[in-house]
Structure 1
Amino acid sequence: MRTALITLLFLILPPAWADESELQTYAFPPRNDQTREGIRTDALLIIQDGRIVFEHYSAPTNTDTPHLTWSISKSVLATVLGVAYGEGRFKLDDPAAKFYPPMQAHPQVRIQDLLHWASGLDWQEDYEYAPLKSSVVAMLYTSGRDDMAGFTAAHGVAAAPGQRFLYSCGDSNVLSAALRQMVGAEAYANYPWQALFEPLGIRHAVWERDAQGTFVGSSYLYMTARELAQIGQLMLDDGRWQGRQLLPAEWVKFNRQPFDSPVEPGEAMPGGHWWLNHANAWPDAPADTFAALGHWGQALYVIPRQRLVIVRYADDRDGSFQHNTLLRHVVAAFPGERP
């Protein structure tokens, strides 16, 4: 019954005054897929005040397609961890080694350091453009693929933990491995579903695991656009879902609190495994905008000021797509209730 109610809620028509033309033109331009150049949006879903106001797909993606989210997986992992946090299974200042023994080599690294991508471990987050020395390529595809958290824990130290932001898929996979001991080995395989997905009515999610049975929390979660939007709506509503406080409000506040570490000009600020607009990374979006972002243009944006949740699935292989440009078109088309 809950799923049916959610689907009905999402079928309400958009406001009659919304002007979507520039948004549609930007997100779904004509494209030659053979060259893989330019913007390729597979899905764009916009929810305002809990109802769909824009939804468009490019074949073969449709409403029922679980799409690869890439690094959006990290933010969903943080949301799953938020349920465990609310159950009292860990504290932010707990050492990671308490829940994942291979991290005993790094006893000062805390759970909150991993959530800030600030473990201090020596890590190279380079992708297909610089694969030879890339820690993440080795973790996902070669020497580390059978035990991704163990591969990460075996790295040396580049900085003191908690002092410097260094984006790392490895940090996320250590968190995913730690979750197993937090909730117990027997419960772990179903925990994301039992704790988060089923209460939200999510039915299509697929989360790949490595050979150790650890969820690839950095990268390999698949969800439909509507399902991912429900994660965004949960975060927009400070952890409440249909009258239930599914996430502690203090956890959502932590996710949205910037980690005090320098970032490159124009880059979003890291929060607790989410990205924040505090450094004016997206100048045409409100300052309270936050997001989960993934490789090749995947994005889940939340704009509290305008009660907006935006899901974009894509396959962008160059630099054509710009987060700020899309957000500018969205906030112009859906500014909220008109006087």
Structure 2
Amino acid sequence: MHWDLSRFTELEGKLADKSFKGITSIVVVQGDKLVYEAYFNGGNPDQLNDIRSASKSVTALLVGAAIDRGLIPKVQTPIYGYFSDKQPWQHPDPRKQAITLEDLLTMSSQWECDDENQFSGGNEERMYVTEDWLQFALDLPIKGYAPWMSKPKDSPYGRAFSYCTAGAFVAGAVVERATHKPLADFAAEALEHPLGITQVKWNRSPLGIGMGGGGTRYRSRDLAKLGQLALDGGRWQGQQVISPSWIQAMLTPRAQAREDADYGYLWWRFRFPLKGVEQPTWAMGGNGGNYVFVVPSQKLVAVITSTAYNHSYAHPQSQGIFRDYILKAMP
């Protein structure tokens, strides 16, 4: 059985005639074999792609690495204990003290924080215009539930999902506090160097805290390695880089993000049809339509990088390429 490479030729036609816009690279790996790799619109193999929020999924891997090393006791560890130097924080509440790392990783903390609501006090755009992002997040009030909103007890998996970049940023800050290292340094040591990833760029907040919430830059092939690591239970070329128990915990649905998507620990779970059968597909996803798709049942990893930032077509376009071209080209 062979891949139907004519699908990729057809896709290249769509990219050439601008039916699809802003796509810079597509890399497809099955098993450990490279099936397809191509660059478009100025992309190239050494391009450090700004994958925006897809880097949140890397933060989840780093939390696992810190837990593996015993530097963070467990994923249910309350977070406020790491930041006693930031006291007093606004809106003190016992429910805030109870917020755990797991709440941040599942986007279901009780903070009033929703990036998809411009009126939300915790919206990421409000954080970016302040100097102290950590204080901004720790000061957030407890959210209320309007009558039309789902409360945790009435939600699938018992968690009410609300997309919150500030939470992912704080998760990265916990890793820094626990490891006593800048996030980029711990990432290099615990994750990137074992995978042979040498070219990477991490962002930092105005006060110098590693940005675990987005904007890390990787080469396309290195993104594929991150997908492979998730696919292979934390192993890379025979070496256990992240524990299998963490990968399994990370890739377990823990909240319903949308009608068509669940959420693990900062990883999305979609369902895409393959030959008429829905396949659970885990994904790192970010603004602009940047994705690393992982289909465990098919041992498939597909990377799509794109610069269609802040365009409404960006996510549907990348998901469509994956669904209608990559999956349909499969043997």
Task: Indicate the residue corresponding to 2:201 in structure 1.
Answer: 206
- Map Cα deviations across residues 297-331 of structure 1 (whole Å, 9 max, x no partner): 00000111111111100123232615155234212
Task: Indicate the residue corresponding to 1:135 in structure 2.
Answer: 123
Displacement after TM superposition at 1:49 (Å): 1.2
- After TM superposition, what 4+ stretches of structure 1 lie above 4 angstroms from structure 2? 102-105, 130-134, 159-162
Q: Which amino acid aligns with 1:310?
A: A
Structure 2 residue aligned with 1:251, among 246, 252, 258?
A: 246
From the two aligned structures, give the one with the greater strand fraction: 2
- 1:232-251 aligned within 5 A: 232-251=227-246
Task: Indicate the residue corresponding to 1:231 in structure 2.
Answer: 226
Tell whether the 8 Å contact from 2:256 to 2:263 is kept in structure 1 after alignment: no
Structure 2 residue aligned with 1:79, among 42, 48, 61?
A: 61
Task: Indicate the residue corresponding to 1:156 in structure 2.
Answer: 141
CA gap 1:154/1:134 in 2 versus in 1, 3 angstroms: closer
Give the distance between the partners of 2:267 and 2:330, measured in 1 at CA.
23
Give secondary structure in 2 for the equivalent of 1:321: helix
CA gap 1:86/1:24 in 2 versus in 1, 3 angstroms: farther
Comparing 57-66 with 97-106, which one deviates more in the overlay? 97-106
- 1:89-238 aligned within 5 A: 89-90=71-72, 91-101=74-84, 102=86, 105=92, 106-126=96-116, 135-140=123-128, 142-143=129-130, 146-158=131-143, 163-185=159-181, 188-238=183-233
- Map Cα deviations across residues 128-151 of structure 1 (whole Å, 9 max, x no partner): xx59977111223x12xx322221
Task: Indicate the residue corresponding to 1:309 in structure 2.
Answer: 301
Give the distance between the partners of 1:189 and 1:264, measured in 2 at CA.
31
Give the distance between the partners of 1:252 and 1:242, measured in 2 at CA.
16
Q: Which amino acid aligns with 2:258?
A: E
- Map Cα deviations across residues 167-208 of structure 1 (whole Å, 9 max, x no partner): 1101100101111111014x6551110111111100111001
Give the distance between the partners of 1:201 and 1:324, measured in 2 at CA.
31
Give the distance between the partners of 2:185 and 2:15, measured in 1 at CA.
40
Tell whether the 8 Å contact from 1:26 to 1:326 is kept in structure 2 after alignment: no
Instruction: Report how many aligned residue pairs link the two structures.
Output: 305
Give the distance between the partners of 1:70 and 1:30, measured in 2 at CA.
25
Give the distance between the partners of 1:292 and 1:38, measured in 2 at CA.
20
Q: Any stretches of 5+ residues in structure 1 without a counterpart?
A: 1-14
With the length of structure 2 as denominator, give the TM-score of the two structures. Answer: 0.84
Displacement after TM superposition at 1:29 (Å): 2.3
Structure 1 residue aligned with 2:283, among 285, 291, 294?
A: 291
Are 1:18 and 2:6 matched, yes or no?
Answer: no
Task: Indicate the residue corresponding to 1:331 in structure 2.
Answer: 327
Displacement after TM superposition at 1:38 (Å): 4.6
Give the distance between the partners of 1:108 and 1:131, measured in 2 at CA.
25
Give secondary structure in 1 for the equivalent of 2:266: coil
Q: Which amino acid aligns with 2:5?
A: E
Tell whether the 8 Å contact from 1:121 to 1:158 is kept in structure 2 after alignment: yes
Q: Any stretches of 5+ residues in structure 2 without a counterpart?
A: 145-150, 153-157
Give the distance between the partners of 1:208 and 1:217, measured in 2 at CA.
8
Structure 2 residue aligned with 1:274, among 267, 271, 281?
A: 267
Name the % identity.
25
CA gap 1:163/1:305 in 2 versus in 1, 3 angstroms: closer
Displacement after TM superposition at 1:88 (Å): 1.2
Give the distance between the partners of 2:282 and 2:222, measured in 1 at CA.
18
CA gap 1:286/1:85 in 2 versus in 1, 3 angstroms: farther
